[in-house]
């Protein structure tokens, strides 16, 4: 059994139609057949796999037999249970996906030249034309996002920045929000007593559609039932309510 320590938002709607979002911190993978261990330590990622030839026959030695399903009635008893934490680097099979894409794209002279000349639109267009969901890599932003356990949308430029070493990792949603908060604070320079309220307000507004609807429609009474940013916190913003977007 492996424990993944990665914050994931869990969204649901209650019986009254109100949307909620909570962060789930721990996930467990029950690896009955040591698949995780096999793909982490033993699988040869350089091996070229050949697809089996589909055969048909009668079962009398003149070919294979097509089997749609099978039932096994032997008891399946768990003999041992081992818990192994998975760090932020993810599993090897995920790292191999990005490493393969990085190696291929770094060797593409057209993309490399465009990046060196800071022609990001040209570089992105070349990557999408050659590799997006194409046989060599079957590359998509969604596959990259999942392989990196990323909790937000990803852009092709970010991907290229990572491929060519401009950034060392993809920042999480909370890290990006924190970055934007710091930019706002550095520009407007609020007093320190307002900073916590400004940060919480910005994060709630950017990440939660329900909160945006409350603010945009000026339905401030609903803040009495909104736990992530209360009416008291909204009042504490004072004049910053009109400055913070």
Residue 129 lies in a domain: yes
pLDDT tens string 22-56: 666 666 666 666 777 777 778 777 777 777 666 66
What is the distance between the alpha carbons of residues 100 and 105, in angstroms, rounded to a whole number? 9
Whether 23 and 80 share a structural domain:
yes
Residue 235 lies in a domain: yes
Whether 78 and 11 share a structural domain:
yes
pTM for the full model?
A: 0.54
* Range 202-207 contact pairs with CB under 8 angstroms and sequence separation of 24 or more: 202/177, 202/244, 202/245, 203/174, 203/177, 204/228, 204/229, 205/244, 205/245, 206/177, 206/180, 207/21, 207/173, 207/177
34 conformational bin, left if phi > 0, alpha if psi -120 to 50, beta if neither: left
Residue 106 lies in a domain: yes
* Per-residue pLDDT at 111: 95
What is the distance between the alpha carbons of residues 154 and 142, in angstroms, rounded to a whole number? 8
Give the residue among 23, 2, 17 at the shortest CA–CA distance from 151.
23
Residue 55 lies in a domain: no
Whether 145 and 199 share a structural domain:
no
Whether 185 and 140 share a structural domain:
no
Residue with tokens 């909104």: 226
What is the distance between the alpha carbons of residues 226 and 221, in angstroms, rounded to a whole number? 10
Judged against a pLDDT cut of 80, whether residue 232 lies above it is answered with yes
Residue 168 lies in a domain: no
Whether 182 and 159 share a structural domain:
no
pLDDT tens string 97-148: 888 899 999 999 999 999 999 999 999 999 999 999 888 788 999 988 888 8
Whether 14 and 81 share a structural domain:
yes
Whether 182 and 122 share a structural domain:
no
Q: Which two three-digit tokens encode residue 132?
A: 């997006």
SS3 229: coil
Listed residues 163, 191, 211: the one ending a domain: 163
SS3 84: strand
What rounded mean pLDDT belongs to the chain? 80
Spatial contact of 139 and 90, defined as CB atoms under 8 Å apart = no
What is the distance between the alpha carbons of residues 136 and 173, in angstroms, rounded to a whole number? 30
Strands 19-29 and 2-13: antiparallel
What is the distance between the alpha carbons of residues 113 and 117, in angstroms, rounded to a whole number? 6
* Per-residue pLDDT at 130: 93
* Per-residue pLDDT at 165: 93
Number of domains in the chain: 3
Residue 37 lies in a domain: yes
Residue 67 lies in a domain: no
* Per-residue pLDDT at 241: 80
**Containing domain of residue 107, as a range?**
92-163
């Amino acid at each position: 059994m492996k424990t993944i320590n990665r914050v994931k938002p869990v969204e649901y709607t209650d019986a009254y139609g109100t949307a909620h979002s909570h962060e789930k911190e721990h996930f467990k993978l029950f690896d009955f057949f040591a698949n995780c261990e096999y793909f982490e330590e033993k699988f040869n990622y350089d091996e070229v796999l050949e697809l089996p030839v589909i055969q048909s026959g009668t079962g009398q030695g003149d070919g294979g037999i097509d089997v749609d399903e099978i039932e096994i009635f032997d008891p399946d008893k768990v003999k041992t249970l081992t818990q192994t934490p998975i760090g932020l680097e993810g599993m090897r099979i995920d790292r191999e996906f990005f490493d393969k894409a990085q190696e291929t794209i770094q060797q593409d002279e057209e993309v490399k030249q465009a990046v060196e000349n800071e022609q990001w639109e040209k570089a992105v267009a070349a990557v999408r034309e050659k590799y997006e969901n194409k046989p060599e890599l079957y590359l998509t932003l969604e596959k990259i996002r999942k392989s990196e356990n990323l909790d937000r949308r990803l852009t092709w430029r970010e991907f290229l920045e990572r491929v060519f070493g401009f950034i060392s990792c993809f920042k999480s949603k909370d890290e990006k929000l924190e970055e934007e908060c710091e930019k706002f604070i550095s520009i407007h320079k609020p007093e320190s007593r307002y900073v916590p309220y400004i940060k919480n307000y910005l994060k709630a507004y950017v990440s939660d559609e329900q909160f945006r609807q409350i603010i945009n429609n000026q339905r401030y009474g609903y803040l009495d039932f909104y736990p992530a940013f209360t009416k008291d916190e909204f009042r504490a913003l004072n004049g910053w309510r009109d400055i913070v977007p």
